[in-house]
Amino acid sequence: MRSGSTALLVDAGISLKELTRRLMMVGVEVTSLDALVLSHEHGDHVRGAIALCRRLKLPVYASPATSRGTGLVPALSRENVIDFTADVPFAIGCLEVLPFSVPHDAEETFGFKVSDGRVRAGLATDLGSLTLDVLQGLSGCDAVVLESNHDEVMLLEGPYPLFLKRRVNGPHGHLSNADAAELVRCIKHGDMKHIVLAHLSRTNNTPELPLKATRGALGAGGAHIQVSLGWQDRPGDMICF
């Protein structure tokens, strides 16, 4: 996310080389980043974090549990690792970041509402169910990046072992297309402009199903809202306000 001269990255699950390449595809120099913010310690969100922050001397904002789980200290110097806790906003340049708790099976997991005072963007990509914290955290946003992980029937009938099906489908797993659509139904409002459906399962979803579910939840009243997909292997289009 970027506003004015401030740019921050939420999560770094890919290598520095790949991150550099993907940012270039949307016209962003990796060296223009001011900070990394981590949602939780799972590998698909932190794999590239230490290399990125070490190489670019970037500060990283993380909860103490995420910091421990990722081994940020001593891999990075203590002064470059900045703690945050749920519901306490912090500033990075001209951006204000509000972390909020989401239910997921990591030590602690957060969604974020990021604002420059003009535009508010919400992000929640690993969550198993809808909670009041999630609804409040994503309320009033102009743009939302939201997990729409799986189709429940595809998951149930698919190749995952039973324990993994239960984990993904559980209240601390990942959000189904139907749950994401329900969340969208709750948070949609007249000024919302964009929804990006993200963290799609390659095995238990198709590109069409999450779009259809969310479009259905938006209905005619939400026809003005652009809905797009976040891909695992390439950047999406830049969303500008």
Cα(157)–Cα(130) distance, rounded to whole angstroms?
Answer: 24
Smaller CB distance to Zn ion: residue 172 or 185? Answer: 172
- Tell me the two tokens of residue 25: 């595809």
Identify the CA nearest to 123 among candidates 198, 215, 13: 198
* Cα-Cα end-to-end distance for the chain: 11
List 29, 44, 157, 208, residue binding Zn ion (CB under 5 A): 44
Q: Which stretch binds Zn ion (CB under 5 A): 3-11, 38-46, 64-72, 210-218?
A: 38-46
Smaller CB distance to Zn ion: residue 44 or 237? Answer: 44
Per-residue interface string for the shown chain with Zn ion, residues 146-185, x marking contact by CB under 5 A? ----------------------------------------
Q: Which stretch binds Zn ion (CB under 5 A): 40-48, 88-96, 136-144, 202-210?
A: 40-48
Core vs surface per residue 201-238: b (16+ CB within 10 A) or e: beebbeeebbbebbbebbeeebeebebebbeeeeeeee
Cα(55)–Cα(16) distance, rounded to whole angstroms?
Answer: 9
Strands 226-229 and 194-198: parallel
Q: How many residues bind Zn ion (CB under 5 A)?
A: 3
Smaller CB distance to Zn ion: residue 3 or 39? Answer: 39
Q: Which stretch binds Zn ion (CB under 5 A): 57-65, 121-129, 142-150, 159-167?
A: 121-129
Query: Which residues are registered as beta bridge partners of 120?
Result: 115
Q: Is 2 strand, coil or helix? A: strand
List 16, 41, 42, 70, residue binding Zn ion (CB under 5 A): 42
Identify the CA nearest to 102 among candidates 163, 48, 165, 180: 180
Least separation, in Å, of the C-beta of 164 and Zn ion? 13
Q: Which stretch binds Zn ion (CB under 5 A): 36-44, 131-139, 204-212, 226-234?
A: 36-44
Q: Is 47 strand, coil or helix? A: coil
DSSP 238: P
List 11, 41, 126, 133, residue binding Zn ion (CB under 5 A): 126
Q: Which stretch binds Zn ion (CB under 5 A): 39-47, 58-66, 88-96, 144-152?
A: 39-47
Smaller CB distance to Zn ion: residue 33 or 168? Answer: 168
Site residues (vs Zn ion, CB under 5 A): 42, 44, 126
